[in-house]
Amino acid sequence: HPLVSIGTLVAFTTLQSGLLRPSVMLLSTGVDIQSSLALFGRIFEYLDLRPDIEEPERPAALPARVTGAVRFDEVGFAYDADREVLSGIDIDVPAGSSLAIVGETGSGKTTLGYLVARLYDVTSGRVTVDGIDVRDLSFADLSATVGVVSQETYLFHSSVADNLRFAKPDATETELHAAARAAQIHDHIMSLPDGYDTLVGERGYRFSGGEKQRLAVARAILRNPPIMVLDEATSALDTRTEREVQAAIDTLSANRTTITIAHRLSTIRDADQIVVLDRGRVVERGTHRELVERNGFYAELLARDTFEDVVGALES
């Protein structure tokens, strides 16, 4: 089976979503950008679109071993010039540590996470990785350094193996299976009629939301970036699926810098640092314990979350 060509993939994913900007698609799908830049150029010409994130002409050199320290330095961001979505964000995420971002819907959590992967450019301030402004990195370095598991997962019409392998084209079968196993999805794949050769996507086997998320985790494990941005799905998963997804994410988070955008506060109790966003500003930060004692925004979110869990348990 030949791999679906990058062109088909990009055309497909670009057309599939009119909501996300093409630059978002490029990076979040984890395509090897360096080798396909010319092709992307042509596709954008064809669709009369321009990626609005520009690659630096002379990219900065990353250290041979990236440690994965992330810093938000007085970051401001606006999608539209007249409304700032993030303001004065200052966060230090030491290499290998975990940061959880929580807050009301629309407070800017996803946007903040996306700035690390440079899916958008900051309007003011800067985001650095190992001290280097992400705008100074080549796209190839950036996509090898920062991985994103987003609220949406794109599967294209091809086999399960192809869908995984596109995170790492030279992955061996052993590597594919190991990643799928770590992501808690291997057994499920093996139970499908054609196993890893099962066709997925629009006209093939339809994975559930929780399964898609685990496939996304498997892709991220294959790519193995030192920094991971995890945007938890907002859609409710059943308890068992949620546990499986969480186990997959825990495996992924080990030994790397992890930025988790959390919708269920139960998943982030152990985070090294929790930041609460309110209308684009950091209003609280600390560990779970510190924030509970503070009895402020976090404590309120937590109370609501717990209440919803209890109601959910009573209803089911």
Ligand X SMILES: Nc1ncnc2c1ncn2[C@@H]1O[C@H](COP(=O)(O)OP(=O)(O)OP(=O)(O)O)[C@@H](O)[C@H]1O
Does 106 interact with ligand X (rule: CB under 6 A)? Answer: yes
Report the C-alpha gap between 76 and 91 in whole angstroms.
12
Shortest distance (Å) from residue 294 CB to ligand X: 21
Measured distance CA(1)–CA(197) in Å, rounded = 9
Dist. CA 190–CA 82, nearest whole Å: 51
Binding of residue 110 to Mg ion (CB under 5 A): yes
**Residue 273 is a binding residue for Mg ion (CB under 5 A):** no
- Site for ligand X (CB under 6 A): which residue of 8, 234, 235, 295? 234
Site for ligand X in 251-280 (CB under 6 A): none
Tell me which of 13, 107, 153, 258 binds ligand X, using CB under 6 A.
107
Task: Give the list of residues 6+ apart from residue 9 with CB closer than 8 angstroms, or none.
Answer: 29, 31, 156, 166
Tell me which amino acid residue 237 is: L
Distance in angstroms (rounded) separating the CA atoms of residues 48 and 106: 30
What are the strands of the beta sheet with 124-129, ordered from one edge? 86-93, 70-77, 124-129, 132-133
Q: What is the number of residues in the chain?
A: 316
Contact flags string 137-156 toward ligand X, x per CB under 6 A: --------------------
- The yes or no reply on residue 158 touching ligand X (CB under 6 A) is no
Stretch that binds ligand X, among 87-95, 106-114, 156-164, 249-257 (CB under 6 A): 106-114
Among 105, 174, 191, 316, the residue binding ligand X under the rule CB under 6 A is 105
Q: Is 111 in the site for ligand X (CB under 6 A)?
A: yes
In the chain the first and final C-alpha atoms are separated, in Å, by 44
| Residue 79 interacts with ligand X (CB under 6 A): yes or no | yes
Please identify, using beta-carbon distances, which residue of 101 and 182 lies nearer to Mg ion.
101
Does 307 engage in binding with ligand X (CB under 6 A)?
A: no
Give the footprint of Mg ion on this chain (CB under 5 A). 110
